[in-house]
Chain A
Amino acid sequence: MVKKPLLIAVLAVVGLAHASDLNRTLRDLLFGRSPGQTQPAPTTMGSAPQQAPQSQQTTQTQTERRPRTAELLGGLLAVVGEPPYSPEEERNIGRTVAGGLLGVVPLVRDDELQRYVNRVGRWVALQSERPDLGWHFGVLDTEDINAFAMPGGYVFVTKGLYRQLNSEAELAGVLGHEIGHVIRKHHLRMLQKSRALAELGAAAGRRMEGSSPIAANFMGNFWEAFARGLDKEAEYEADRIGMVLAARAGYDAYGLPTVLQAIGHVSANDSRVAFLFKTHPHPDDRLATLSEAVGSRFDDLPEGKTLSNRFYRLR
């Protein structure tokens, strides 16, 4: 509450200092680029005229900060752009939340399954701009149909969702969607919007364990935001990334939409999809939006592999 006038003041100062290119700066910030970065995001490939906004890992260079600066910077960025967390902070947030989720639902007791999912997931994540984040993938022991991404590279699919899958390409697409949330820092951005910001500021730099009051408070805020779901545009973006990362990894790009079709068949009254449908746009809307975004883009892309023969079936 007290911070708001301060933020406006900070914004005003930024505006005055860079009045001439404020527009560009704001646009860069809005689309996930840092204010200092004038170069376009590196393009790995050549065919599309427009590169999707790249989330640069600017935070990785912000290792030393004085608290006051950090607070101001955090406040400013909370309004306009890049989440102000170092990779270590991001990982700590991810571990805390992942540990909490695992406190509610344990992993499926099947080592082979868990290792398989980690191999597929890591291979897909290697195709992203954050290949060496501490990627961890797990299958949760619940019949709920859902998948979750946590900051720092913690990704979960439920056993219920896994049952809907019929090929490695479909798994790759689902994991690619979640990897998309992580690399674009969707949850960190969502957190910035929520009132968790103040507590996070206080917790920054401290190692968070489940028992500390700060962590407990943070978890409460995180779950509240988590249960509300991400912005639907973030979901659509993750869908596009899921298809692209699976395609880059050599898989059939249409694994994710195939899964969306399957989930669309589950009755909305089915309790297994209650949480998923509460936090995501309906699969029909996701398909229609994907359709519009993909258009004829993949027409020349050679068909990838589905690897349904290698797909690990649940015991």
Chain B
Amino acid sequence: MMRLGMTVLLGVLLTLAMPVWATTGTMLRDDPLRAFASATAPVLTQVARGTKVEVLGRQGGWTQVRVGGHTGWVRMLSVRTSETAQRDVGGELAGVIGMGTRQADPGRIVAVAGVRGLTLNEQQLQQARFNAQELERLERYAASRAEAQAFAREGGLNARAVDYIPAPAQARQQSSPWEETQW
């Protein structure tokens, strides 16, 4: 009964909150706005770094945005999405009944239990005691090569050739190789 009540209440809150949820974004770099999600699509306009955009959706490596009267696509990695003030209100409302809501994209709702459980910090780790039993449990779950391959086939996943990506140019432009030694 109690549970049903909570569910209904949460449902109402989410319904109330959802219409005002919208994702905005900020351009992380200059990027052309394209008519469709492809590098070969016609360019509608240029969007400068720092420009605020309205985020409408994503398709592969492309994010659909609305900016300055245009609707089009920019590279997914060129725009940082952010939450709007309205959505925080929804989150706070939900928080009142002991549930926090987190949302990554429009339409995504993930309820987070009020109890945070263990949080990790250095002090805890320093006092860590080796847990052999839990380690054995972990090792029992290991997937064999064949099992992983069968699992991939079931999902229609096909391995493909993709090169590793080198570090961006500026990271390699430092004067001395010693200075970029990270270890």
Contacts and interface: CB of A to CB of B under 8 A. Distances in A.
Interface in A262-276: 262, 264-266, 271-272, 274-275
B161 A236 contact: no
B161 A134 contact: no
A231 B102 contact: no
A3 interface: no
Contacts of A115: 141, 143
A103 B130 contact: yes
A111 B105 CA distance: 29
Interface in A13-33: 26-27, 30
**Central interface residue in A30, A186, A292, by most chain B CB within 10 Å:** A292
Contact of A132 (B60, B113, B145): B145
Given A119-B148, A226-B125, A231-B182, A106 B163 contact: no
Contacts of B145: 122, 126, 131-132
Interface string A293-310: 110111101110101001
A299 B80 CA distance: 19
A95 B136 CA distance: 10
The interface residues of chain B, by DSSP majority, are classed as loop
B167 A305 contact: no
A45 to B, nearest CB: 4
Interface string A127-148: 1000110111110011110100
A155 B136 CA distance: 14
Interface string A98-136: 111111111100010011011111110011000110111
A212 to B, nearest CB: 10
A254 B177 CA distance: 31
B105 to A, nearest CB: 7
A203 to B, nearest CB: 14
**Central interface residue in A43, A99, A117, A233, by most chain B CB within 10 Å:** A99
A210 interface: yes
B9 to A, nearest CB: 21
The interface residues of chain A, by DSSP majority, are classed as helix
B119 A51 contact: no
Interface in A239-279: 240-241, 243-244, 247-254, 257-259, 261-262, 264-266, 271-272, 274-275
B28 A293 contact: no
Given A27-B177, A134-B142, A136-B139, A233 B171 contact: yes
Contact of A275 (B61, B82, B121): B121
Given A240-B165, A271-B116, A284-B28, A294 B77 contact: yes
A209 B129 CA distance: 11
Interface in A150-173: 154, 158-160, 163-164, 166, 168
Interface string A38-54: 00000111111011101
Contact of A106 (B134, B166, B177): B134
A233 B167 contact: yes
**Central interface residue in B59, B77, B117, B170, by most chain A CB within 10 Å:** B77
Contact of B132 (A210, A223, A247, A301): A210
CB-CB nearest 9 A-B residue pairs: A210-B130, A262-B104, A189-B183, A227-B122, A250-B157, A291-B77, A52-B164, A122-B148, A48-B163
6 contacts: A107-B134, A143-B113, A154-B138, A231-B182, A262-B104, A294-B77
